[in-house]
Amino acid sequence: MPTELPIPWIIALNALGLPALQLGCAWAFTRMPADWFDPPLSSRDRSPAYERLLAIKRWKDRLPDGASWFKGGFAKASLRQRDPRHLHDFRRETWRGELCHWAVLAFIPVFFLWNPWWGDLVIALYALAANLPCILVQRYNRQRLNRALRR
């Protein structure tokens, strides 16, 4: 902890900073041009492993879709159309969403500036618990979309 702060300040910085980081990244990523996001093509379909090992189908629909909270965001809760253009757009948006969650994780060390070591651990565990499931769902959905686009 490079900066010594009173405990109430640390709690306030964490309680306000973590949601601000999540929402700020979601807002910023919805403002970026869509053509910045071109997901890498993968020939391997790991979606059966996601279903078998992670039971992802059971819980993926319970996660919030932050992009839909902002004007111009692409709602990814359900597939609205099946035409190839929409599938391509949806696939691109899963990449945008995944990168947004990775960006949140990349900013987490900022919180280490004022937290004690045990607070760093709590913040890191929270960040992983809040973002890794979303990353996994984005990857799972993208693999399913890849399969649909190949057909």
pLDDT digits (tens, 9 = 90+) for 95-127: 999 999 999 999 999 999 999 999 999 999 999
- For helices 7-31 and 84-107, the axis angle rounded to 10 degrees is 150
The C-alpha atoms of residue 124 and residue 11 are separated, in whole angstroms, by: 15
Range from 35-44, 49-58, 85-94, 111-120 carrying the lowest mean pLDDT: 35-44
Q: Say if residues 22 and 66 touch (Cβ distance below 8 Å).
A: yes
The C-alpha atoms of residue 1 and residue 117 are separated, in whole angstroms, by: 7
User: H or E stretch including 128?
Assistant: helix 117-150
Task: Mention every residue, 6+ apart, whose C-beta is less than 8 A from residue 25.
Answer: 100, 101, 103, 104, 107
Which tokens belong to 37?
């996001």
Segment 126-131 mean pLDDT: 97
| Position 67 pLDDT exceeds 80 | no
In eight-state DSSP terms, residue 1 is -
pLDDT band at 53, cuts 50/70/90?
Answer: confident
The C-alpha atoms of residue 80 and residue 94 are separated, in whole angstroms, by: 15
The model carries a pTM of 0.85
The C-alpha atoms of residue 82 and residue 89 are separated, in whole angstroms, by: 11
Residue linked to tokens 């059971």: 58
Identify the burial level of 138 via C-beta atoms within 10 angstroms of its C-beta, where 0-12 means exposed, 13-18 middle and 19 or more buried: buried
